[in-house]
């Protein structure tokens, strides 16, 4: 964990954040199309959650660490990962850091301290508190951010992580993207109280923010990151947002979700809000979108040309010494 801050990293920059929000919106809709065409395996869209992802990621320093869920596609991008690296993962090619061994989109970007996403929801919160405690023991300035959804907030792992973090004053920020749904279960059926009220019970500072306003998210997250870095303790941020699309490419939300609710959420689309704040004209906005689509098309073309790993390589780099039964299977292959 290095401690050299990137100069100017903490300055707010709505035009830059808007370009990143557009990029990830376009990336998500392109990924759905690729899955429908049978070119990638699976995708979990982030439409509607761009302000929460981008605003929060801008509050971190490059030497900070992130333990995310499967729906924070913008976070590695904001931390400097090129678009093609996300597609290398989705195409499960030999340039994918996981070499096709993680369910897409469960990235791992060690180069920007973005830790491999785990399939069981919630355990990233425990991992984050462990890493934050390590930073505390070492006496460095690292802050750890963990992301999870409203449904995941009900997991025992998240409660355990919060209890320990508050007690230890670990330098961690719990960032919940409350997008209204956990697959087909609405947030109202997850919790008898607004999620943020749980903070008081364990001794965390709790803040609820408008998760569709990138600047508001950035300001609140920056305050929480500064607080953690100063040793004052962890914060639980609940960003109120909405999952405009399906849970995943295997889901059809029209089976359980009311069209009127979706229409209300579309009126509060974070891209619409940021665009209005910036006062962009149609042509200025279209130029930003066209640039995003161009970057994505180039990345897709590049990633799709890279070969996929061979089955025989499945366990390479996994074991220091491969167990005998896997060695036998490899020989069979």
Ligand X SMILES: Cc1ncc(C[n+]2csc(CCOP(=O)(O)OP(=O)(O)O)c2C)c(N)n1
Determine, following the binding rule CB under 6 A, whether residue 47 of this chain makes contact with ligand X.
no
Active site residue 107: no
Q: Active site residue: 256, 272, 319, 327, which one?
A: 256
Please give the DSSP secondary-structure letter assigned to residue 308.
P
CB of 17 to Mg ion, least distance (A): 22
Active site residue 89: no
Residue nearest to ligand X (CB): 149
Determine, following the binding rule CB under 6 A, whether residue 150 of this chain makes contact with ligand X.
yes
- Asked if residue 225 lies in contact with residue 60, where contact means CB atoms within 8 angstroms, the answer is yes
Active site residue 256: yes
Taking the least distance from each CB to Mg ion, the nearer of 53 and 81 is: 53
Look-up of token digits 């996981």: 98
Which range of residues in 19-27, 149-157, 195-203, 259-267 is near ligand X by CB under 6 A? 149-157
Tell me which of 55, 149, 206, 233 binds ligand X, using CB under 6 A: 149
Taking the least distance from each CB to ligand X, the nearer of 233 and 245 is: 245
Report strand pairing: 185-186 vs 114-115. Answer: unpaired
Determine, following the binding rule CB under 6 A, whether residue 72 of this chain makes contact with ligand X.
no
Determine, following the binding rule CB under 6 A, whether residue 120 of this chain makes contact with ligand X.
yes
Cα–Cα dist 22/246, whole Å: 19
- Residue 221's nearest CA partner among 236, 233, 232 is 236
CA atoms within 13 A on the CB side of 113: 20
Which tokens in the block code for residue 285? 């906005």
Question: Measured on CA atoms in the order 251, 128, 314, 90, is the torsion positive or negative?
Answer: positive
- Asked if residue 122 lies in contact with residue 151, where contact means CB atoms within 8 angstroms, the answer is no
CB of 296 to ligand X, least distance (A): 22
Q: Active site residue: 58, 79, 101, 247, which one?
A: 247
Determine, following the binding rule CB under 6 A, whether residue 181 of this chain makes contact with ligand X.
yes
Tell me which of 119, 259, 267, 276 binds ligand X, using CB under 6 A: 119
Which tokens in the block code for residue 219? 């300001």
CB of 154 to ligand X, least distance (A): 8
- Residue 72's nearest CA partner among 16, 24, 26, 10 is 24
Residues that bind ligand X (CB under 6 A): 71, 119-121, 148-152, 179, 181-183, 243, 247
Catalytic residue set: 243, 247, 256
């Amino acid at each position: 964990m290095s401690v050299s801050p990137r100069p100017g990293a903490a300055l707010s920059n709505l035009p830059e954040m808007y370009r990143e929000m557009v990029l990830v919106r376009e990336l998500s809709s392109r990924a759905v199309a690729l899955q429908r065409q049978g070119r990638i395996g699976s995708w979990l869209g982030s439409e509607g959650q761009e302000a929460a992802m981008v605003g929060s990621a801008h509050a971190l320093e490059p030497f900070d660490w992130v333990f995310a869920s499967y729906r924070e596609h913008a976070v590695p991008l904001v931390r400097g990962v090129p678009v093609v690296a996300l597609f290398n993962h989705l195409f499960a090619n030999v340039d994918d850091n996981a070499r096709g061994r993680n369910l897409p989109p469960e990235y791992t970007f060690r180069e920007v301290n973005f830790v491999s996403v785990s399939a069981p929801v919630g355990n990233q919160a425990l991992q984050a508190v462990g890493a934050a405690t390590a930073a505390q023991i070492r006496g460095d300035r690292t802050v750890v951010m963990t992301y999870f959804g409203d449904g995941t907030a009900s997991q025992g792992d998240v409660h355990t992580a919060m209890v320990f973090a508050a007690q230890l004053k670990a330098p961690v920020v719990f960032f919940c993207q409350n997008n209204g749904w956990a697959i087909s279960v609405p947030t109202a059926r997850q919790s008898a109280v607004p999620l943020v009220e749980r903070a008081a019970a364990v001794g965390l500072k709790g803040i609820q923010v408008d998760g569709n306003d990138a600047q508001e998210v950035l300001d609140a997250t920056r305050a929480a990151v500064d607080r953690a870095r100063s040793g004052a303790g962890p914060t639980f941020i609940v960003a109120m947002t909405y999952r405009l699309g399906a849970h995943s490419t295997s889901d059809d939300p029209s089976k359980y979700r009311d069209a009127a609710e979706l229409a209300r959420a579309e009126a509060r689309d974070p891209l619409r809000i940021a665009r209005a704040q910036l006062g962009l004209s149609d042509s200025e906005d279209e130029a930003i979108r066209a640039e995003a689509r161009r970057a994505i098309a180039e990345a897709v073309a590049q990633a799709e040309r890279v070969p996929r790993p061979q089955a025989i390589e499945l366990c390479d780099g996994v074991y220091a010494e491969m167990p005998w039964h896997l060695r036998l299977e490899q020989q069979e292959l």
